[in-house]
């Protein structure tokens, strides 16, 4: 049973380029969460998605960041025109249910984005 | 709004001694509470959770946590620490009063266990 798979594990981008981070949830999970972890800091919630729907994006910066979770394929976190401050570890988590459920979320190993 | 506080950035303990990592929370409804551990350059691993029932919850690797509603706390404990327990620990809460779909994490507490 594969867990949450994130790729790439490490991503280097120059300022102004685009970064695309992919997350394949646990098989059968239809709920995906993205978190950002800055060096020496905790996890900050970014966005919560179900298949084809964004449920809560209250933690996403208003500009340059977008996320999707299509009917087929992985969830994608897209950062346009990256800046040095975007350098962080981005973690994806998935769960089988959403509202009202008591299950824990399963985390991927993260993508470490470095903007040079 | 829901929030989680881990008042200690770092906890130091000698191997074999008991350890406690503190967590307090704030929610509008009933909380679901979680502890996760993160080893260097790895994702988060689930340790234990409190949903309902017995206030003392037992989890992986000998860890346990006690839910205290009056103090709004969910401290992580282990009777005898191991060097291999050294890691970053995160407390998390899900506020069932708001629908409960978003899990909020504390800032993390780094645990150092000295041999």
pLDDT in tens, B55-86: 999 999 999 999 999 999 999 999 999 999 99
Residues B100 and B80: beta-carbon distance below 8 Å: no
Q: What are phi and psi of A94, to 5 degrees?
A: -135, 155
Given an 8 Å threshold on Cβ–Cβ distance, is B43 in contact with A108? yes
The whole-angstrom separation of Cα B93 and Cα B34 is 6
The tens-digit pLDDT sequence of chain A (116 residues) is 468 999 999 999 999 999 999 999 999 888 899 999 987 778 898 999 988 899 889 899 999 999 999 988 999 999 999 999 999 999 999 988 764 567 788 899 999 999 99
Give the one of B32, B46, B99 whose C-beta lies nearest to A102's C-beta: B32
On whether any CB of chain B is under 8 Å from the CB of A4, the answer is yes
Given an 8 Å threshold on Cβ–Cβ distance, is B105 in contact with A107? no
The whole-angstrom separation of Cα A51 and Cα A30 is 6
Average pLDDT, chain B: 91
CA distance A14 to chain B (A): 22
Q: Where residue B101 falls among pLDDT bands split at 50, 70, 90?
A: low
The 10 Å Cβ neighbour count of residue B109 is 21
Which residue of B21, B29, B32, B44 is the best one to mutate when testing the A interface, meaning the one whose CB has the most A CBs within 10 A?
Answer: B44
pLDDT of residue B43: 82
Given an 8 Å threshold on Cβ–Cβ distance, is A107 in contact with B103? no
CA distance B31 to chain A (A): 10
């Amino acid at each position: 049973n594969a867990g949450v798979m994130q790729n790439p594990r490490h991503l280097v981008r120059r300022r102004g380029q685009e970064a695309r981070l992919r997350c394949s949830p646990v098989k059968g999970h239809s709920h995906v969460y993205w978190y950002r972890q800055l060096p020496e800091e905790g996890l900050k919630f970014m966005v919560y998605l179900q298949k084809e729907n964004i449920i809560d994006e209250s933690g996403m910066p208003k500009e340059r960041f977008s996320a999707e979770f299509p009917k087929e394929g992985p969830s994608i976190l897209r950062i346009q025109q990256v800046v040095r401050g975007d350098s962080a570890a981005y973690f994806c988590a998935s769960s089988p249910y959403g509202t009202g459920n008591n299950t824990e979320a399963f985390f991927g190993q993260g993508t470490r984005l470095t903007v040079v | 709004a829901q929030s989680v506080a881990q008042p200690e950035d770092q906890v130091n303990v000698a191997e074999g001694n008991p350890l406690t990592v503190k967590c307090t929370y704030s929610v509008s409804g009933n909380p679901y509470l979680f502890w996760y551990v993160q080893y260097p350059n790895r994702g988060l691993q689930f340790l234990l959770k409190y949903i309902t029932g017995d206030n003392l919850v037992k989890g992986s690797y000998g860890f346990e946590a006690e839910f205290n509603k009056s103090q709004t706390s969910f401290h992580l404990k282990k009777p005898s620490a191991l060097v291999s327990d050294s890691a970053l620990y995160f407390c998390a809460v899900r506020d069932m009063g708001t629908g409960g779909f978003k899990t909020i994490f504390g800032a993390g507490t780094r645990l150092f266990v000295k041999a």
